[in-house]
Structure 1
Amino acid sequence: MLTLGVDLAAADKRTAMATIEWLSDRAVVRDLVLDVSDACIVKASHDVDKTGLDCPLGWPGPFVALMTAHQSGHVTVAESEGAQWRRRMAYRLTDEVVREKTGIVPLSVAADRIAHTALRCAGLLAMLAADGQDVDRCGSGKIVEVYPAAALNCWGLTHRGYKGRGQQAQHADLVTALCAAAPWLELGAFEALCRRSHDAFDSVVAALSARAAAMGKATRPNEEQRVIARTEGWIALPTCPPSGLIDMAEA
């Protein structure tokens, strides 16, 4: 099995992509690149079994309805529920599920800078679909939405404080911790890049999360949630420890 992990940014710069090959007793990082274009992502995704995209695959349904209504007139909001109403506009169902399960509040695709990345992702999803890939925003097709920080949290690893200037030591420690938790993971020639770039590291975690989803070892929406997740997207959280990603029976 091959899985692809993409740490998507608003532009090619800072976008990272990792390809992992899964063998019977180990997982090998076969490729790890930075500054990746949409065309490169589509091509790489075509050749793997599952692709994990670290980016919201859609917007909150109530937010979309609000924008449509506001375009043609004015909207009315009861003063007593202003803050709660804004939260419903800002966060998707899957964001609330992640918050409930991990305590992590995902960035709001409706009210944060990640919306720039989501705009790129919307075009990328169209390209993937045009390539014949099954783009089901619930994650049951070729593409699945992943969230590296939440995956690290599920595995009991540090998920905050390893990004940005002056965080090289914390980032290096986290790479070491992941390798200890997953001794079967072979970074090989890409270890230095993984330690140097948190974007590269996140793409590796995205590829690991894609593996969990491919094995059925990640959260899935129930039938009621699927109705919403089909348009908003669904974050697949690993439900197994890192050791559960290795299937000793797989050849």
Structure 2
Amino acid sequence: MVSELYNPITVVGVDCATKPSKVGMALGSFDGQHLTLVDAKVGSSSVKPVDVVATWIKGKAQSLICLDAPLGWPVRLREALHDHQAGATLNHSANDLFQRLTDKEICERLKKRPLEVGADRIARTSKSALDFLGELSISVGRSIELAWDQNPWQGVRAIEVYPAATRLSWGLKHASSDVLAQHCCFGGIDVNLLNNGHINDAVVCAIAGKEFLLHEAVRPSEEQKEIAMREGWIWAGRKPDEIKR
């Protein structure tokens, strides 16, 4: 039973952004089977997101941070730019340069193309997310590594998620409070908070974390893992009609 493998795990969903006022955060507790929401907030000029999350996870044996932002760049782009000189040809297709392996896999599986960290403004959000992890690590006095399997750990781990992909894996483009209630328990959360788009996405991020812990998210194959560990990997499930019964 999955529930026998875990102590309660603190799960934090973060809807990442470059401005604190657009960062949504959702705190949940995973008991091995179910996710219960405990708190939810949006940052502000006076409420620093990293301080909120640090308070949530300090002293917790196991914490999983689920971030809605790319946590790596395309390998081909990094290699092509290493010795590139202005005016020289880039000998790869645009897709290979600007899309990560996980972006292509999500597009093929869920028919949704993630924003390209190699080409879009999402790169600024990615930088903010990586800065967030670095500051959080210092604040809680613990290193934060990416999680690649569900084995119990001590301390803090992080994963990359994508709320749009998670919703599509449910067969939906949008998630009302009624839909979210099918995937988590609200605990003492005011349901009206879910009308805020940043909090709504943060809750979906936390649910994606639960699906990761329950082995319901698609993991990279052995052939894909080496590249995924360099570029990042979006943890999301399959479409309902693709789930093996």
Under a length normalisation based on structure 2, what TM-score does the superposition of the two structures give?
0.78
Identity of matched residues, %:
28
Distance 1:231 1:175, change over 3 A: same
Q: Which residue is equivalent to 1:76?
A: 89
Q: 5+ residue gaps in structure 2?
A: 1-7, 241-245
Q: 2:11 aligns with which of 3, 22, 38?
A: 3
Distance 1:10 1:229, change over 3 A: same
CA distance in 2: counterparts of 1:4 and 1:57, whole angstroms: 16
Q: Which residue is equivalent to 2:27?
A: 19
Query: Which residue identity does 2:83 align to in structure 1?
Result: A
Q: 5+ residue gaps in structure 1?
A: 79-83, 160-173, 242-251
Distance 1:76 1:93, change over 3 A: same
Deviation at 1:186, TM superposition (A): 1.8
CA distance in 2: counterparts of 1:137 and 1:57, whole angstroms: 12
Query: Which residue identity does 1:218 align to in structure 2?
Result: A
Q: Which residue is equivalent to 1:117?
A: 125
Residues 213-235 of structure 1 show CA distances to partners (whole Å, capped at 9, x for unaligned) of 12222111122211111121000
Deviation at 1:56, TM superposition (A): 0.4
Distance 1:25 1:134, change over 3 A: closer
Q: Which residue is equivalent to 1:231?
A: 230
Does the 8 Å contact 1:137/1:231 carry over to 2? no
- The alignment partner of 2:226 has SS state of helix
CA distance in 2: counterparts of 1:17 and 1:176, whole angstroms: 16
Distance 1:224 1:153, change over 3 A: same
More helix by share: 1
Instruction: Number of aligned residue pairs: give it.
Output: 219
CA distance in 2: counterparts of 1:124 and 1:99, whole angstroms: 27
Q: Which residue is equivalent to 2:243?
A: none
Q: Which residue is equivalent to 2:3?
A: none
Q: Which residue is equivalent to 2:145?
A: 135
CA distance in 2: counterparts of 1:230 and 1:129, whole angstroms: 19
Moved more, 149-158 or 132-141: 132-141
CA distance in 2: counterparts of 1:100 and 1:92, whole angstroms: 13
CA distance in 2: counterparts of 1:149 and 1:61, whole angstroms: 24
Distance 1:22 1:38, change over 3 A: closer
Distance 1:201 1:60, change over 3 A: same
